[in-house]
Amino acid sequence: MNPQRLILILGDQLTQTISSLSDANKSTDLIVMFELVSEATYVRHHKKKLVLVLSAMRHFARELRELGWRVHYHELVAQGDATVGEPNNFTEAMAALLEQSLTQSVSQVVVTEPGEWRLRQEFDQWSSTFSLPVHIRADDRFVCSRTEFANWADSRKQLRMEYFYREMRKKTGLLMADDKPCGDKWNFDSDNRKAAKADLFMPSPWRCEMDEITQQVVELVQRRFSQHFGDIDDFFFAVDRAGALTALEHFVSSALANFGDYQDAMLEGEPFLYHSLLSPYINLGLLDPLEVCQRIDQEYRNGRVPLNAAEGFIRQIIGWREYVRGIYWLKMPEYVGLNYFSATRPLPEFYWTGESNMACMAAAITQTKEHGYAHHIQRLMVTGNFALLAGVDPVAVHEWYLQVYVDAYEWVELPNTLGMSQFADGGLLGSKPYAASGNYINKMSDYCGNCRYNVKHKTGPDACPLNALYWDFLARNERLLASNPRMGQTYATWRRMSEDKQQSYLNSAADFLQTL
């Protein structure tokens, strides 16, 4: 038997152009894919996320076989004593495979670098564990390589996304007119803060019919992961590249034009509004982030969507998405332990049930349970804002976000949660905390009209809890925040209040926090 290479493809590397396959040979190399209980349970992922990832992996393996590749695929089984002989991690799975005669003459292992620190640590041990050359290749599905980001960061005192984003615009040529940004402005965010009105013509996301493979995975998840958070009914995500491309075209034709205007809006009963729901596909590898942005750029240049929509969308991908990935690899493993405000409160139980009298929280959590989805402003300004104001332990918040969303992978989730939403990094990612009272939610949504609390009341049992929690958060953290130039006015307002008024905010907040 000729020496062969084992090429490991991970569950979020479902791309034929992945770097591990760049020089692969169909007749001598063996592609290896493992479904592992450990990956499904290191946090207990939402049931829909498990269905999505496992079904997409199975579809990708089938696609590779149809193209003539040899694929070794370890499948989780739904029935019998499923745990007997199950590998506990990738190392055990790989060791078992290497022991099989089929792979006696393995010359090397090739893998594209994983997106998570814990797996990188594990794979780094493999050369010595297996006494084999193990090649961990860069993941080139990003516009900015890890080295390029580190060089960019090295030359700066403050790592602001906006400046990084401009570099990425120049590098990709997206929405550029020669060397200038289209519309002579880099950022149209100020146009993108309209509140939505309930509208008969609200688009709905692309819904993919389940095929036999997906139905089998649904059965597997129901049997083996029934204790995990989230509903499994009504699974509509695409599970292969063809479906993901259809979802992209559906978004472009039905929602993109309004994406900018209503990017920050929230509406009762409308979980998706004009958002794309493309993050699960981009993160899995079914869509390439640059191809998505080029499609949006083309739509703008053809005059079919306004610039604030195209720019707002492209900024999220070549700006925020690339930037948080750069921060993750620059700052791990210390990053996950940061806790600027020393927050220690356990995560309130209603994050798992959605049973809250706060209409905004109930809406965001209930749709998260149903679909594994909430859009950015719900994650940041509803569930994130509440945890920040209430002083919840940032690790508990991080683990919640990693569990409950179908698009959650630590490299993108952690900086968004710990940095952007909880300010636990003390301002590395954002210049000030995203803290808000009920007023913001009332402006951007219709939740308050259906709430048991009154958003106009500042203190007392009927007042919107966020109003008192907001000032309580600021008072509690004055030493850490008062010198922040962007917080000056807010603290000036706090100091102008009478002592009685300040105290009534603090008392109201304490009363509410006791109920958690």
Binding site for ligand FAD (CB under 6 A): 275-279, 282-283, 313, 316-317, 320-321, 324, 375-376, 379-380, 384, 401, 405, 407-408, 412-413, 416-417, 420-421
In this complex, which beta carbon is closest to ligand SF4, that of residue 176 or of residue 513? 513
Q: Where are any strands of DSSP class E within 133-279?
A: 134-137, 176-177, 180-181
Chain mean position to CA 333: 18
Identify the CA nearest to 68 among candidates 29, 115, 121.
29
What, of ligand FAD, ligand SF4, none, does residue 447 touch, CB below 5 to 8 Å by kind? ligand SF4
Residue 271 sits in the site that holds ligand SF4 (CB under 6 A): no
Sole binder of ligand SF4 in the list 34, 274, 335, 447 (CB under 6 A): 447
Residue 464 within binding range of ligand SF4, rule CB under 6 A: yes
- Using the rule CB under 6 A, which residue among 9, 119, 252, 359 binds ligand SF4? 359
Orientation angle between helical segments 322-331 and 146-154, nearest 10 degrees:
80
Q: Give how many residues touch ligand SF4 by CB under 6 A.
A: 14
Least separation in angstroms between residue 508's CB and ligand SF4 is: 13
**Least Cβ distance, residue 37 to ligand FAD (angstroms):** 21
Min CB(440)–ligand SF4 separation in Å: 8
* 378 contacts ligand SF4 (rule: CB under 6 A): no
Helices (H), 194-288: 212-224, 241-254, 256-259, 279-284
At a CB cut-off of 8 Å and minimum separation 6, what does 121 contact?
A: none
> Which residue lies nearer to ligand FAD by CB, 15 or 279?
279
Rounded distance between C-alpha atoms, residue 91 and residue 111, angstroms:
13
Stretch that binds ligand SF4, among 232-240, 352-360, 409-417, 484-492 (CB under 6 A): 352-360
Q: Which is nearer to ligand FAD, 407 or 425 (CB)?
A: 407
Give 323-348 as a DSSP string: HHHHHHHHHTTGGGG--TT---BPPP
- The reply to whether 386 sits near ligand SF4 by the rule CB under 6 A is no
Regarding 448 and contact with ligand SF4 (CB under 6 A), the answer is yes
Nearest to 380 by CA among 408, 341, 422: 422
CA 236 – CA 232 distance, rounded (Å): 10
| Residue partners of 475: CB distance under 8 A and separation at least 6 | 494, 502, 505, 506
Q: Which is nearer to ligand FAD, 320 or 470 (CB)?
A: 320
Contacts with ligand SF4 in 171-210 (CB under 6 A)? none
Q: Does 388 bind ligand SF4 (CB under 6 A)?
A: no
Cα separation of 365 and 230, whole Å?
10
- Residue 451 binds to ligand SF4 (criterion: CB under 6 A): yes
464 binds, among ligand SF4, ligand FAD, none (CB under 5 to 8 A by kind): ligand SF4
How far apart CA 385 and CA 390 sit, in angstroms, is 8
CA 226 to mean position of chain CA atoms: 23
Selection from ligand FAD, ligand SF4, none that 358 binds (CB < 5 to 8 A by kind) is ligand SF4
Binding residues for ligand SF4 (CB under 6 A): 358-360, 438, 441-442, 447-448, 451, 453, 455, 464-466
